[in-house]
Amino acid sequence: MILSISGVVLFGLIVFLFFRKDGLKPSHGLVCALFGFYLAGSAIAPSIKAGSASLASLLGGIKI
């Protein structure tokens, strides 16, 4: 678990720096994919899933 959390922090910092510096390149996309992989295995994953489900429900309920 400690390795997973440190991986999330590390890849999150790298993704943030990539977006701040310049456009997202293919190598940066790979880092983003690894960030998602480690984030999915962390303890915060259920909260993110619940939040995204709530957001999808909210957006699905909007009638135009």
Predicted confidence (pLDDT) per residue in 5-64, tens digit: 676 777 778 777 877 787 777 777 777 778 788 888 888 888 877 887 788 888 888 887
Q: How far apart, in whole angstroms, are the C-alpha atoms of residue 36 and residue 40?
A: 6
Q: Which of 16, 36, 13 is nearest to 24 (CA)?
A: 16
Question: What pTM did the predictor assign?
Answer: 0.51
To which H or E segment does residue 54 belong? Answer: helix 45-60
Residue ranges of domains in the chain: 2-60
User: Are 30 and 17 within 8 A, CB to CB?
Assistant: no
Spatial separation of the C-alpha atoms in residues 54 and 33, rounded to whole Å: 23
Task: Identify the CA nearest to 45 among candidates 33, 32, 36, 57.
Answer: 36
